[in-house]
Amino acid sequence: MAQRPTPIDRCAPLPGTESEDPMLAVVNAASQLPAIGLAAVEARALFYLQAGFPLHLRGPAGSGKTTLALRLADQLKRPVMLLVGDASFDTRHLVGSEGGTRTRRVVDRYISTVMKVESETESVWLDRTLTVACMEGCTLVYDEFNRAPATANNVLLTVLEERILVLPKAGRGESYVKVSPDFRAIFTSNPVDHVGTHPAQDALVDRMVTIDLEGFDRTAEIAILRSRAGLSAGDAARIVDVVRDFRASREYAQRPTLRAALMIAELAARGGMRIACDDPRFVALCLDILGAKLKPAADGLPHPQQRALLQKLIDHFCPAAGGAKPARGSLP
């Protein structure tokens, strides 16, 4: 007998509780975020999915891939199965495996002086995410699928093309299962130069419609910060400009993304900080978040020249009111 994980139902609370499933909360939260700067892309992507084609969202960290994938999954009005790629994956992590045994014992006392005992042991097959999604017509969101080895994802080839899921020999008593016509798949991936990623198979990517996400423009980033942190347009613009100019300088070891700007904005709003270079708490916040991305010196700490550059960006884009002297934060 097969056991299986439960899909993320779009509206049902946890059984016996009033609370929302944590994974359902993730999907719902993404669906409620404004589609700032991605409305046209979202419309195209939804069209491809509704037509039955698997979708591949490709782009650097912070470009909105996962949020867009969850928004699209919610709009398909089907249960959602969320899977995050990992280097330890093999086919069993997608399809399933034997997860233990079940023993049945029958005691026969039909004749009082004779006891007959029969024992039977059978393997228990545990369905994994892909199997459940294929059989029940769920929407599979496979986040960062290229972090899993290519061999683990080979099973997807027949799923996406022939609509058949091939099972291992010791599977659930079947050699394959037919994929439900309601099954849809959304994949996200990072560029291959990111740490921990693998080149995706040409045969797999060839079965998908790929949309490249390059990130948001300045107007969209400002709108996102205002929506998420409740900042004024001017304050949001100052933070965005610091991060965008730092990104354009290429004087970093790790590319600063919209996530860095969101961290600064949300923490500054929560702490009641002024978005100005004469507020030492705000300067220290920027240095803490952006300083870790600077090019390191020989001692492993941020290089002094890069540190000075970051401080100049804060002074330039976040001027003090009335010509007050800028605060000087410190990097650990």
**In the sheet where 2-3 sits, what is the strand order?**
2-3, 116-127, 96-108
| Residue 18 CA, distance from chain mean position | 26
Instruction: Give the whole-angstrom CA distance, residue 265 versus residue 285.
Output: 10
**β-strands 184-189, 55-58: how paired?**
parallel
CATH number at residue 86: 3.40.50.300
Q: How far apart are CA 182 and CA 127, in angstroms?
A: 19
List CB contacts of 140: < 8 A, sequence separation 6 or more. Answer: 81, 83, 129, 130, 133, 183, 184, 185, 186
Length of the chain: 332
Distance CA 99, CA 97 (A): 6
The structure's pTM equals: 0.72
142 and 9, same domain (yes or no): yes
Q: Do 242 and 208 fall within a single domain?
A: no
CA distances from 167 to 102, 130, 163 (A): 21, 11, 13
- In the numeric block, the tokens 């398909």 are attached to 76
Q: How many domains, in total, are found in the chain?
A: 2
Are 41 and 55 in contact, with CB atoms under 8 Å apart?
Answer: no
As to burial, measured by CB atoms within 10 angstroms (0-12 exposed, 13-18 middle, 19+ buried), residue 113 is exposed
Contact at 8 Å (CB) between 94 and 81? no
161 and 289 belong to one structural domain: no
3-state secondary structure of 113: coil
Residue type for position 190: N
Q: How far apart are CA 253 and CA 323, in angstroms?
A: 33
Range of the domain at 234: 218-323
One digit per residue, pLDDT tens: the chain, 332 residues? 455 555 554 433 434 444 445 555 555 554 555 555 677 888 999 999 999 999 999 988 878 888 889 989 989 999 999 999 888 888 888 887 666 556 666 666 666 666 666 666 566 667 888 999 999 999 999 999 988 888 889 999 999 999 999 887 655 667 888 999 999 999 999 876 566 677 788 999 999 999 998 777 888 889 888 888 899 999 999 999 999 999 888 888 888 888 899 999 999 999 999 999 999 999 999 999 998 888 877 777 767 777 888 899 999 999 987 665 666 554 43
Q: Which of 212, 232, 252 is the last residue of a domain?
A: 212
Residues 155, 289: one domain?
no
Q: What share of the chain is helix, strand, coil (3-state, %, to 5)?
A: 40, 20, 40
Strand partners, 98: 125
- Same structural domain, 162 and 59: yes
Of 156, 190, 212, the residue that ends a domain is: 212
